[in-house]
Amino acid sequence: MIPQSEWKVLDLLKLNQIKLNPIQKDSIITVEQYKIKDFKTTSSPYEGHYLHYDTRVLKELKKIKFRAGDCLVPLNQEG
């Protein structure tokens, strides 16, 4: 789900022909949410970026309110 307020992100997805499904009405949807619990970082950058590894995440189901016009992005598509 991408909030309609993130119009720059939505515009880039459209530009790359990613299908977006706007929801029609305000809804509370149960989503699977991930939060980074812990990670390790390399001591020196590679091409200007510090790489992360041994990343651990916390997964939880959460009910989140979305507004009409927010977009569901199906993941089973090209791109």
Residue pLDDT, tens place only, 21-72: 999 999 999 999 999 999 999 999 999 999 999 999 999 999 999 999 999 9
User: Are the CB atoms for 49 and 20 separated by under 8 Å?
Assistant: no
pTM above 0.75, yes or no: no
3-class SS at 73? coil
Q: Is 54 left (phi over 0), alpha (psi -120 to 50) or beta?
A: left
- What's the token pair of residue 34? 């991930």
